[in-house]
Amino acid sequence: MKTFTLGGIHPKGNKLSAQAPIEIFPIPEKVYIMVTQHLGAPSTVIVNKGDRVKVGTLVAKADAFICANVHSSVSGIVEKIDEINDASGYRKSTIIIKVENDEWEENIDRSTNLNRECKLNSKEIVQRIKDSGIVGLGGATFPTHVKYMVPEGKKADFLIINGVECEPYLTSDHAIMLEKAEEIMIGIEILMKALGSKKAMIGIEKNKPDAIKKMQEIASKYNKIEIYPLKVKYPQGAEKQLIKALTGREVPSGKLPIEVGCVVNNIGTALAVYEAVQKNKPLIERVVTVSGKSVKKPSNLRVRIGTPCQLLIDHAGGIPEDTGKIISGGPMMGKALRSPEMPVTKGTSGILLMTEKESKREASSMCIRCAKCVNACPMGLEPYLLQMYVESLRFEDAENHKIMDCIECGSCQYTCPANRELLDYIRVGKSKVGAMMRSRTRK
């Protein structure tokens, strides 16, 4: 069984909601659609206060290269365009829509029948993906169409689909694979057509045997798609680690996967592509896992983008008393929310309610030079060294020791017996070194 070679850790899976089917979450009274839900340049709002919108109406337009369209996820009236707190507490531009009925744009096919045939050519598919505002649904929210604009002279041999879901607790991809396997396969075929690649590989960790079985069953009908069960190891769902695990190829430092002939997409993205291309449905909803050790009903919910997280938590039984942190995303890479009123965005893969005990940080002490972090780092970096460089403001040295290669998976901090805040410092260093490099290119 395959896996990546360098580093990695084994956190407890805690997949509490693995057996929960996907529930359709009711449409809320009001949705808060953030204008910038992706990685890259901000989009431009094209609706005004008082405008009437339908499900699927374009509300914010992408006008830069790395940028994504945003669509209304409900029908109703634009109440206002205001700034609301995002997860960090900084205020971000948001479109607030008051819901009235559930009217969809006419060109969206709402039927559930499978539509296998795709008549569009490669360019048209990429354009459709771009128009539908699809971004990577694994959590990084990188605009998908950009990955499919393969630079000249490069060829994508493999399309790699990420069904690993290595983050503990999260089960949204797992649930999708169980319920929408057929659609995912068609989505993958469409993506392969757009890319012109000959083979698609789906990596699934073996802690999801039911998903592997179901996917293998369906993939047997498609001769170009293969399922690879993988050993359980974090962070296998990271792009570069998954490529290494499946193909044995290594992405060079500072380069993109296309350098080694691979394009990586998430399971959820493949499903979104199927819906966008075959059903004309833009990215207006996603599956969110609501979980946590003391949550009454851990569940997988299909939610309209812009629904306040509070409603989802209420649905799962409310905020338990011993909650210490509410996290958007997984426990390893997710971000703590300031308040549960924050809306669901395209990148919200899960909402975790961590207990006081789980979320408390132990006091950190001196580095004891055990090198556990070096062994755990999947990128082959030396986290203890980078941390010390950043602490003593030696950013040039940090750059020379490849601080920018860090994927911020948090394995080093997880494994540190002295509870040192390794990743925290490395993140500071990355932002400083990044700024340094940008100012150099400007000169």
Partner 1 sequence: MITLILYSLLALSLIGLISAVILYFVSQKFKVIEDPKIDEITELLPAANCGGCGYAGCRNFAEAIVRQGNLDNIHCPVGGNSLVKLIAPILGIEAQESEPQVAVIRCNGSKENAPSKAIYDSVQTCSFAHALFAGENGCPNGCLGCGDCVVSCKFDAMYMDETTGLPVIITDNCVACGACVKACPRNIIELRNKGKKDRRIYVDCINKEKGAVALKNCTVTCIGCGKCVKVCPFDAITLINNLAYIDDEKCKLCRKCAPVCPTGAIIEIGFPPRKENVETASNEEKA
Binding site residues, partner 1, CB under 8 A: 83, 85, 87-91, 338-339, 360-361, 421, 424-425, 427-428, 431-432
- 302 vs 427, which CB is nearer to partner 1? 427
- 389 vs 425, which CB is nearer to partner 1? 425
SS3 annotation, 8-73: CECCCCCCCCCCCCEEECCCCCEEEEECCCCCCCCCEECCCCCCEECECCEEEECCCCCCCCEECC
Least CB distance to partner 1 at residue 112 (A): 42
- 101 vs 419, which CB is nearer to partner 1? 419
Least CB distance to partner 1 at residue 89 (A): 3
Least CB distance to partner 1 at residue 85 (A): 7
Least CB distance to partner 1 at residue 308 (A): 17
Least CB distance to partner 1 at residue 397 (A): 18
Least CB distance to partner 1 at residue 417 (A): 19
- 195 vs 416, which CB is nearer to partner 1? 416
Least CB distance to partner 1 at residue 361 (A): 5
Comparing C-alpha atoms, which of 417, 325, 408, 424 is closest to residue 362? 417
Least CB distance to partner 1 at residue 84 (A): 10
SS3 annotation, the chain: CECCCCCCECCCCCCCCCCCCEEECCCCCEEEEECCCCCCCCCEECCCCCCEECECCEEEECCCCCCCCEECCCCEEEEEEEEEECCCCCEEEEEEEEECCCCECCCCCCCCCCCCCCCCCHHHHHHHHHHCCCECCCCCCCEHHHHCCCCCCCCCCEEEEECCCCCCCCCHHHHHHHHCHHHHHHHHHHHHHHHCCCEEEEEEECCCHHHHHHHHHHHCCCCCEEEEEECCCECCCCHHHHHHHHHCCCCCCCCCHHHHCEEEEEHHHHHHHHHHHHHCCCCCEEEEEEECCCCCCCEEEEEECCCEHHHHHHHCCCCCCCEEEEEECCCCCCEECCCCCCECCCCCCEEEEEEHHHHCCCCCCCCCCCCHHHHHCCCCCCHHHHHHHHHCCCHHHHHHCCHHHCCCCCHHHHHCCCCCCHHHHHHHHHHHHHHHHHHHHHC
- 339 vs 365, which CB is nearer to partner 1? 339
Least CB distance to partner 1 at residue 7 (A): 23
Least CB distance to partner 1 at residue 408 (A): 12
* Nearest-angstrom CA–CA distance, 41 and 330: 25
- 6 vs 39, which CB is nearer to partner 1? 39
* Nearest-angstrom CA–CA distance, 29 and 62: 27
What six digits make up the tokens of 206? 């073996």
- 92 vs 199, which CB is nearer to partner 1? 92
- 330 vs 429, which CB is nearer to partner 1? 429
Least CB distance to partner 1 at residue 362 (A): 10
- 90 vs 112, which CB is nearer to partner 1? 90
- 272 vs 353, which CB is nearer to partner 1? 353
- 85 vs 115, which CB is nearer to partner 1? 85
